[in-house]
Structure 1
Amino acid sequence: MKKRGFLFLGISLLALGLSACGLTSNRSDAAALPDASKYEPTLFFHGWGSSTHAEEQMAHSLVNAGLTHTIIRATVSKKGKVSLKGHFREGDYHPIVEVGFEDNHNASSQQWGQWAKATVVKLQRTYHTKKFNVVGHSMGNMAIMYYLRNNNRSLPKLQKQVDIAGHFNGILGMNDEPNRMKLQANGKPEKMQADYKRLLGLRKTYPNQAAVLNIYGDKNDGSHSDGSVSNASSQSLRYLVSGRAKSYQERKIVGASAQHSKLHDNVKVDKLLISFLRN
C-alpha cells in the first residue's frame, strides 16, 4: 500500500509539474517580448472553401521583401477556439499571422466575423496586441467587415486593410450577373444585397485611423469581373468606408491571371501589398 501511495504521489507531482509548465508557456509569450505592445501583426484571411495555403505566396512575398521574418499560424475551430502555432520573435515588430478556419464551407458571413474576432482576441491576450493589419481574399473580406461591424473599443486598433476580390454586394451566378450591377457616383449600389445592407452601419463606425487598399480583378473578357465577382461588387466597398477611412484606394488587375482564385497568387498583387504595408 505504501509503495502504491508513493507511486500515486509521484504521478500527481508530475502532472502538476507539466501543468505548471503549460501555464508558464502560455504566460511567457508576451512576457518574453520587451515592448510587446509595439508589435503590429498582419492577419491573412482566406476565402470560402480555402485554407492558409491560399495565403502562403502573399505571406512569403512580405518575408522576401524584408518586412518581417516571422510567420505564425492561427487555426480556428468550428466552435471558435483559436490555437496558435509558432511565436512572435523579439524585435520583429511586423509578424504575419496566417489564419485558417476549419469550418471553411460555412456560408454565414456573420460567423466568419465572429471567428475573425476570436483570432484578434487571442492575439490580444497572448501578445498584448494593440494594433494590427488585415489582408482578406474573397470570403475573408466578409470576415473582416463583419468583425469591424461588431467591433468595440477594447479591441486592438486596425491600421491597414487590404481587400482582394471582395464580393461586398453579391456574387456572379447567385445574386449578381455580369454588367448588371450599377454604382452611383459615390460608389453606392443602386440595388443592395442583404449582407451589404447589414454592413451599412460601418459608414458611421469604420475606424478612422485605418487605411484601405481595395484590389480587384478584371479578366478583360467583357464581363467586367474576375469570373466570380463583378468589379462593381468589389468597388462597392468604397461607399461603406471611404467617408471615414484614413485613406481609400483601388487597384485593378487585368488579364487571365486576374481570375478570382488566381489573385492571391498574383505577383502584381504581391507588389501592391508590399508597397502598401511598407509605407
Structure 2
Amino acid sequence: MINYRRSRKWQILYFLIGGILILSFGFNIWQTQRAQDQLKTQYVTSNTPTIFLHGWSSSLRSEKDMVSAAEVSGAASRRMIIHVRPNGKLKVTGTIKKWMVNPIILVRMDNNRAGEVQYAHWLTKVCKMLKQKYHV
C-alpha cells in the first residue's frame, strides 16, 4: 500500500526545491545582465593612448580581437600602427591628435623572437618617439 501522505510531502519538497533553483537561476541572469549594462556605460574618456604590444613569436593578429571589441563597444578606436623593423627603425601608420578619445596604438615587432632585452630597447625607442613627435 502506498502512503499518500508521505508521497505528498515529497512532492511539496521537490516543488519548493525546484522553485528555489529557478528563482536563483533567474536572479543570477538578472544580476549578470545588470553588471554588463553598468560596464558598458562606465568608460574612462581620455586622450591618453593605450599601447598594445604583442608577445613572443606573435603578431598583430593576437591583438585583433581585443582591439575590435573595444572599437565595437565604442570604448576606444584604433589610431596608429607602429612597425619596429629588425634593425630598430620605426615605420608609423596613422596619427594621434589631442582631441582623439581613447586612441589605441598597435606596436608590431617584425623580429618577434628578439628577446626581452631587445624588446625593452625597442619599446623605449617607441615611447621616446611618441613623446617627441606626438607629445604623448
Q: Structure 2, unaligned stretches of length 5 or more?
A: 1-45
2:126 to 114, 119, 125: 119
- 1:54 aligned partner: 62
Helix, strand or coil at the partner of 2:77: coil
Helix, strand or coil at the partner of 1:112: helix
Moved over 3 A (4+): none
1:89-125 CA-partner distances (Å, limit 9, x unpaired): 562232101110011122x211111111111111112
- 2:135 aligned partner: 128
In the superposition, relative to structure 1, how do residues 42 and 116 fare at CA in structure 2: closer, same or farther (>3 Å)? same
Structure showing greater relative contact order (alpha-carbon pairs closer than 8 Å, 6 or more residues apart): 2
8 Å CA contact 1:75–1:99 kept in 2: the answer is: yes
- 2:17 aligned partner: none
8 Å CA contact 2:67–2:78 kept in 1: the answer is: no
- 2:80 aligned partner: 72
In the superposition, relative to structure 1, how do residues 128 and 90 fare at CA in structure 2: closer, same or farther (>3 Å)? closer
1:193-212 CA-partner distances (Å, limit 9, x unpaired): xxxxxxxxxxxxxxxxxxxx
In the superposition, relative to structure 1, how do residues 124 and 51 fare at CA in structure 2: closer, same or farther (>3 Å)? same
Amino acid across the alignment from 1:94: N
Helix, strand or coil at the partner of 1:70: strand
Instruction: Decide which structure has the larger Cα Rg and report it.
Output: 2
1:133-162 CA-partner distances (Å, limit 9, x unpaired): xxxxxxxxxxxxxxxxxxxxxxxxxxxxxx
What is the TM-score when the length of structure 2 is the normalising length?
Answer: 0.60
Distance 1:125 1:39 in 2: 16
Is the aligned partner of 1:97 residue 2:98? no
Q: Which has the higher helix share?
A: 2
What is the TM-score when the length of structure 1 is the normalising length?
Answer: 0.31
- 1:45 aligned partner: 53
- 2:89 aligned partner: 81
Helix, strand or coil at the partner of 1:104: coil
How far apart are 1:56 and its partner, in Å? 1.1
How far apart are 1:58 and its partner, in Å? 0.7
8 Å CA contact 1:70–1:92 kept in 2: the answer is: no
